[in-house]
Structure 1
């Protein structure tokens, strides 16, 4: 088997690691400094240096990515709403009424190992915002109840399930509701279904609902079929629109997601990496190419590199690498040895020499005289070994 085919898996893993390093460089370059010289981020990773826009989504995405790389971003997290009583208002505290933003804050807190996540405003807002014991709406504005949303419920469950010593009883009701939404054949968008599968997989890892994997498997099966249909095309984007009431006004909001990336994360987390191996490998290659070319995934809608998109790509890379077999490092070492052409020639040479000596051993019997025929046989093996190794090396270079 040619080396290019034999070592395809390990080569892709190296490429994914390189793409993650490049993503980290892009995120660091996109940081903006507050008057106190703490880092915050905006919506886009490729915004010009003079841009002043900052936001919870972008900052949370950057914190999650850089904390995974060993960066201490405790000071940045302290600027998020509801964490401290600092008078330096970098973000709008009323944003915590939005389920998605409160979830993003909790994810950032978990990423930096905040000592008391459960007592923060974001966590308390989420914990108390469950509608009728079922799930979360897009917002938790007091006096303005909203029906549960699959996407909002999935995002809140994913954030809360990552908290250490989180009370599982709080999450059981929404988890059951989310499973029922997957199993009842109701119309779910691909992004909704993917985030629902991600949430159920995270809950399963946390030991919540681990024995009820029917919805997880059904959702993963549908996502596999969807990715198989679109995997050869460009990355698709889906916008989710919702509104949040505020005193005297109604504010429209939207979120945009790279669909294949979210689906890829869901498939890996659901345990479907083996069944979807070729699809996920193609997706990883495509995302590596995007990062190598631009430093991140450039949206076809905005022509910009979104911070949340970068975080999702990074999450996919992390989960993809984690799903590779445990013997990857051994295979990679053997692959490097196998790619050394001198080793190929030496192995072929030695094998043929051993075969020649064994032939002589069997033919000579107990006396084993070193006859002229035996010497000729050994010489023939040496010549054959050299010619064979040269031929193998030439074939291997094709």
Structure 2
């Protein structure tokens, strides 16, 4: 597909509409929990299903702010009304499972919600709690209930997620803890060749907000560039028909009451596209990024929300990642559509004059190939080559004209 500046502007409009659709879906699916509201794992459940938790509610709060709702909106206040106080979790009726506050991914989700639509020069309650669970000054494990009941070592995915969630904290981003964790992430990126695309993408997203440590963490640039390079290699071989697949990560938590299995899902392509946009939207994968945004916006339009390929469900956290991608893509297009359009398309379609010159060149080659293919006085192999060249060039010309006229 030949993408033009007009095409990416239209795609940005579709992304904006999809972002609002997801916000409307979240508003329509709030569960009433006494005087509060909450959300569960899926937004396509029957309203009679009352399952809810920190993941769903935290994601919903951020989705609503991305869709334009103010943090002090009544619905968002109602959502916070059921969430326990970070400093005194048992002070409210325990509508939520308080043990979940010891799980890094769920606590990080609350930090994301805590900062949704806000910046702060003070430590916020869940941020303070998450910060207190750093292991050995290096990173976060999967869980940390207390000093005697915690993970024994940092885990890359949990650490990258926590650092990404803390990106809005001005205090944390300049702290010694942040510097030490940044250094640990960079070492792991340099040494672990088996990191999955989701892990690499989260690391790229996280490191983008900790560039103040470049001089102190000598491996920073090399580690970041290596992660981006690995994402480029992965995305470069991605076929459009498989875009939209998710990846799950399972982990065990050893609670005092026994061992429990947990899992976390990531919409891989959406994470990778978001990370690539954050990394400057490299030319090599701009077409891939457009394919992901196109897939996600089309999916939302057809289903009212992003429906996963694997589970065929509209998962709340997936809607958050899609909203983040739509928001980032809109911002990139607003800054400059030329920085989103792939290079070849940018060269041939930036102005009407370039379009005309490109069309004339393609037409000339096509006609020359046609003339060669019907000349009985030249070698047969040359006539075949001329026919192939004519078919290819005239086909490209027809596609280009159709895209230019349609603004796609």
Please confirm whether the aligned pair reaches a TM-score higher than 0.5, indicating the same fold: yes
Q: Where do residues 87-98 of structure 1 align in structure 2 (5 Å cutoff)?
A: 87-98=92-103
Matched, 1:189 2:175: no
Q: Tell me how far apart the structure 1 counterparts of residues 167 and 198 of structure 2 sit (CA, whole Å).
A: 20
1:225 maps to 233
2:294 maps to 285
Per-residue deviation, 1:208: 4.1
Q: Tell me how far apart the structure 2 counterparts of residues 239 and 41 of structure 1 sit (CA, whole Å).
A: 21
Per-residue deviation, 1:132: 1.9
Q: Deviations over 1:191-233 (max 9, x none)?
A: 11111111111323xx344883322221111112211212412
Q: Please say if residues 27 and 62 of structure 1, whose CA atoms lie closer than 8 Å, have aligned partners that are also in contact.
A: yes
Q: Tell me how far apart the structure 2 counterparts of residues 208 and 297 of structure 1 sit (CA, whole Å).
A: 36
Q: Tell me how far apart the structure 2 counterparts of residues 34 and 87 of structure 1 sit (CA, whole Å).
A: 13
Per-residue deviation, 1:241: 0.5
Q: Where do residues 58-69 of structure 1 align in structure 2 (5 Å cutoff)?
A: 58-68=56-66, 69=68
Q: Please say if residues 103 and 155 of structure 1, whose CA atoms lie closer than 8 Å, have aligned partners that are also in contact.
A: yes
Per-residue deviation, 1:156: 0.9
* SS state at 2:266 partner: strand
| TM-score for the superposition, normalised by structure 1 | 0.76
* SS state at 2:259 partner: strand
| 1:81 alignment partner, one of 62, 80, 84 | 84
Q: Tell me how far apart the structure 2 counterparts of residues 41 and 157 of structure 1 sit (CA, whole Å).
A: 24
1:164 maps to 170
1:33 maps to 32
Per-residue deviation, 1:75: 3.5
Q: Please say if residues 150 and 178 of structure 1, whose CA atoms lie closer than 8 Å, have aligned partners that are also in contact.
A: yes
Q: Deviations over 1:299-344 (max 9, x none)?
A: 2332210000010011011111112253559xxxxxxxxxxxxxx9
Q: Tell me how far apart the structure 1 counterparts of residues 249 and 294 of structure 2 sit (CA, whole Å).
A: 27
Per-residue deviation, 1:251: 0.8
Per mean C-alpha deviation after superposition, the further-off stretch among 63-72 and 267-276 is 267-276
Matched, 1:201 2:199: no
How has the CA–CA distance of structure 1 residues 261 and 24 changed in structure 2, closer, same or farther, with 3 Å as cutoff?
same
Number of residue pairs matched by the alignment: 329
Per-residue deviation, 1:276: 2.3
How has the CA–CA distance of structure 1 residues 7 and 161 changed in structure 2, closer, same or farther, with 3 Å as cutoff?
closer
| 1:111 alignment partner, one of 111, 116, 125 | 116
Q: Tell me how far apart the structure 2 counterparts of residues 299 and 136 of structure 1 sit (CA, whole Å).
A: 29
Gaps (5+ residues) in structure 2? Answer: 339-351, 353-400
1:16 maps to 15
| 1:250 alignment partner, one of 242, 247, 259 | 259
| 2:153 alignment partner, one of 124, 147, 150 | 147
Q: Tell me how far apart the structure 1 counterparts of residues 101 and 405 of structure 2 sit (CA, whole Å).
A: 60
Q: Tell me how far apart the structure 1 counterparts of residues 12 and 124 of structure 2 sit (CA, whole Å).
A: 39
2:269 maps to 260
| TM-score for the superposition, normalised by structure 2 | 0.74
Gaps (5+ residues) in structure 1? Answer: 330-343, 345-391
| 1:131 alignment partner, one of 135, 155, 161 | 135
Greater RCO, 1 or 2 (C-alpha within 8 Å, sep 6+): 2
1:323 maps to 332
How has the CA–CA distance of structure 1 residues 117 and 92 changed in structure 2, closer, same or farther, with 3 Å as cutoff?
farther
RMSD of the TM alignment (CA)?
2.7
* SS state at 2:262 partner: strand
Q: Tell me how far apart the structure 1 counterparts of residues 119 and 37 of structure 2 sit (CA, whole Å).
A: 17
Q: Tell me how far apart the structure 2 counterparts of residues 233 and 55 of structure 1 sit (CA, whole Å).
A: 33
2:279 maps to 270
Q: Tell me how far apart the structure 1 counterparts of residues 289 and 25 of structure 2 sit (CA, whole Å).
A: 24
Bigger Rg over Cα:
1
2:106 maps to 101
